[in-house]
Amino acid sequence: METEISSRLAILGHPQRLALFRLLMRRYPDHVPAGELASALGCKASTLSAYLASLMQAGLVRQTRDGTSRLYAIDMTQVGRTLDYLMLDCCRGRPDLCSPFSKDEGVRHVPQTKFKVLFICTGNSARSILAESILRREGGDRFEAYSAGTRARSELNPVALEVLAQKGHDVSMLRAKNIAEFQGAGAPTFDFVFTVCNRAANEDCPAWQGQPVSAHWGMPDPVAVEGTAAEKSLAFHHAYGALLNRIKTFTALPIETLDRISLQRAVDDIAQVGRGVSA
């Protein structure tokens, strides 16, 4: 085991391989096409292939196929074993030395106020706005909903606003915001941060203060759908339905009673909820 861990650490010591590993961690549990990884990292296909081969040989990444496409995902079981080994070897089982990393010390301190949740996409004009609106209504007195974009557009998508209005949401207070608005002094401390856009998840954003529980709930961009007005509207209704199901599942979680590890697994699993559902 020690030789295996040493090999993994050496492989992750390469800056570009580490960047690829971090990207796949942000996208977990997604299986990401090689072309998308190469584009996000700005590297040649041959270079990416070499990086992926090293990570797979180390057991940190696994490959699957979808037809002729090769997809890649983090092998979370092996990553967990690596971290467990390092913590036990480093601390000799002493939680007083490594308590932030100990499973026994993984119970979160539940805030006395509402849970603050941030949804992120690239433009903050459609998917994240839908999610913010849905949680604001479905979350009741337990949650405060926010949304932002890594490169926020100046205006909200009119079809998104139309769908929200049809569903009975108040859209008067909605606006496009950049994530910088929620970083730095005076910004809210979030309990949860969810990316709902693959492009946003691919970007290496600064860590959020307070170490919120985070997950990637990626879904197709309804803005990208071409066709008639009815076809475009249908795409937004599908996005709304998928997000509604995920958020209902999320708000039903017994958050106050779950330790951080269990909660992380639960929000990761929610990424599979509501795929292909209309509302």
pLDDT one-digit tens code per residue, 111-169: 557 999 999 999 999 999 999 999 999 998 999 999 999 987 778 999 999 999 999 99
> Are 215 and 266 within one domain?
yes
Assigned domain for 105 exists:
no
In the chain the first and final C-alpha atoms are separated, in Å, by 50
Is 197 known to be catalytic?
yes
Assigned domain for 107 exists:
no
pLDDT at residue number 186: 84
pLDDT at residue number 266: 95
pLDDT at residue number 203: 85
> Are 230 and 179 within one domain?
yes
> Are 155 and 231 within one domain?
yes
> Are 161 and 72 within one domain?
no
pLDDT at residue number 142: 94
| Residue reference for tokens 């997809």 | 71
Q: Where are the alpha helices (DSSP H) in 58-146?
A: 76-91, 95-98, 127-138
Q: Which residues contact 131 (CB under 8 A, 6 or more apart)?
A: 119, 145, 147, 194, 196, 217, 243, 247
Going across the sheet that includes 61-66, the strands are 32-33, 69-74, 61-66
> Are 122 and 60 within one domain?
no
- Please identify which of the residues 43, 91, 98, 205 carries the catalytic annotation: 205
Is 98 known to be catalytic?
no
Please say which residue of 24, 55, 76 terminates a domain.
76
Task: Give the number of domains in the chain.
Answer: 2
Q: Which residues contact 161 (CB under 8 A, 6 or more apart)?
A: 171, 174
> Are 47 and 123 within one domain?
no
> Are 166 and 246 within one domain?
yes
Q: Is the whole model's pTM more than 0.75, yes or no? A: yes
> Are 256 and 154 within one domain?
yes
Assigned domain for 159 exists:
yes
pLDDT at residue number 194: 97
Q: How far apart are CA 58 and CA 75, in angstroms?
A: 10
Assigned domain for 161 exists:
yes
pLDDT at residue number 59: 94
**Helical (H) or strand (E) element with 19:** helix 15-27
At 225, which CATH number? Answer: 3.40.50.2300
Please say which residue of 46, 76, 106 terminates a domain.
76
Do the beta carbons of residue 128 and residue 119 sit within 8 Å?
yes
> Are 150 and 266 within one domain?
yes
At 8, which CATH number? Answer: 1.10.10.10
> Are 119 and 72 within one domain?
no
- Low-confidence stretches of the chain (pLDDT < 70) are 90-112, 274-279
Do the beta carbons of residue 16 and residue 43 sit within 8 Å?
yes
* Segments forming the whole domain that contains residue 40: 2-76
pLDDT at residue number 279: 44
- Bridge partner list, 65: 70
Instruction: Please give the structure tokens belonging to residue 224.
Output: 């990208």
Is 205 known to be catalytic?
yes
